[in-house]
Amino acid sequence: MSKLYSDAAAALGDVLRDDMLIAAGGFGLCGLPERLLDAIRDSGVKGLTFVSNNAGIDNEGIGKLLRTRQVKKMISSYVGENKEFERQYLSGELEVEFCPQGTLAERMRAGGAGIPGFYTRTGVGTLVAEGKEHKQFPDRNGVMQTYILEHGIFADLAIIKAWKADETGNLVFRKTARNFNLPAATCGKMCVAEVEEIVPAGALDPDQIHLPGVYVNRMIVGAPYNKKIEFRTIREREREQA
């Protein structure tokens, strides 16, 4: 059975529903599943909870869905570049669960491995630890330390962006665009991948495959892309010429 769909709307049409928990890859504007996010916005589903390192920036990435009020909760690590996110959070319109970046990645990975929870020292003694189970374990030197329980993430849907795929769904990510795409892919009941290029089965070097096709249920080709820059930094002379 082919995993390739004609476009993002076709790949998500019979999957999307209100109040879903969606894990999304990407870091800032790097490795965002742009076409899939657009299709979610256009579908009109609402009450969504997104698990993502960040919420994009204003009107880019998940920021588009914040503008349309389709997101009720964000589980994120870094959200400092999105003014609409800030406004909705401070006004009480958006629920936010802040999670340390490494812990967030491990929560996704744990969910993908079928692990319901794990203990970590990250966040002990801070607001992150409030309301969570605390337990004592010896560290590698045998010294007893306090750890907090974090839960694995089991998402209804994972949407990710990859560079290349073969026809069976084996994926290769490009450089830092691997970021949260890999752990997000594994923790969803269904994973839809947006890729730039699809090659015949067997064309990818097995040693270079980052995500096996067994994790990927559906794919679309999203290219071409207009590569966006989150912060454009130029030298003084170039600034004067601009």
pLDDT in tens, 54-81: 888 888 899 999 999 999 999 999 887 7
pLDDT at 37: 97
Task: Give the pLDDT band (50/70/90) at residue 119.
Answer: very high
Residue 38, CA atoms < 13 Å, CB-side half-sphere: 10
Tell me, yes or no, whether 68 and 166 share the same domain. yes
- 236 within some domain: no
What stretch of H or E contains 23?
A: strand 21-24
Query: For residue 230, is pLDDT > 80?
Result: no
- 242 within some domain: no
Q: Are strands 48-51 and 21-24 parallel, antiparallel or unpaired?
A: parallel
Last residue of a domain, one of 150, 170, 202: 150
Query: For residue 169, is pLDDT > 90?
Result: yes
- 227 within some domain: no
End-to-end CA distance of the chain: 52
Could you give the number of structural domains in the chain?
2
Tell me, yes or no, whether 88 and 191 share the same domain. yes
- 2 within some domain: no
**Residues in Cβ contact with 130 at an 8 Å cutoff, skipping those fewer than 6 apart:** none
Tell me, yes or no, whether 203 and 107 share the same domain. yes
Tell me, yes or no, whether 142 and 29 share the same domain. no
Tell me, yes or no, whether 45 and 88 share the same domain. yes
Between the alpha carbon of residue 242 and those of residues 220, 227, 230, 233, the distances in Å are 38, 20, 18, 12
- 20 within some domain: yes
- Assess contact for 84 and 71: CB atoms under 8 A: no
Tell me, yes or no, whether 142 and 170 share the same domain. no
Residue numbers of the domain that contains 129: 118-150
Residue 63's Cβ-count burial label (10 Å; 0-12, 13-18, 19+) is: buried
pLDDT at 242: 61
Tell me, yes or no, whether 134 and 26 share the same domain. no
- 239 within some domain: no
- 233 within some domain: no
Tell me, yes or no, whether 90 and 175 share the same domain. yes
Query: For residue 216, is pLDDT > 90?
Result: yes
pLDDT by residue (tens digit) across 21-63? Answer: 999 999 988 999 999 999 999 999 999 999 999 888 888 899 9
pLDDT at 89: 93
**Residues in Cβ contact with 100 at an 8 Å cutoff, skipping those fewer than 6 apart:** 77, 122, 123, 128
What average pLDDT score do residues 121-143 get?
96
- 95 within some domain: yes
Distance CA 27, CA 4 (A): 25
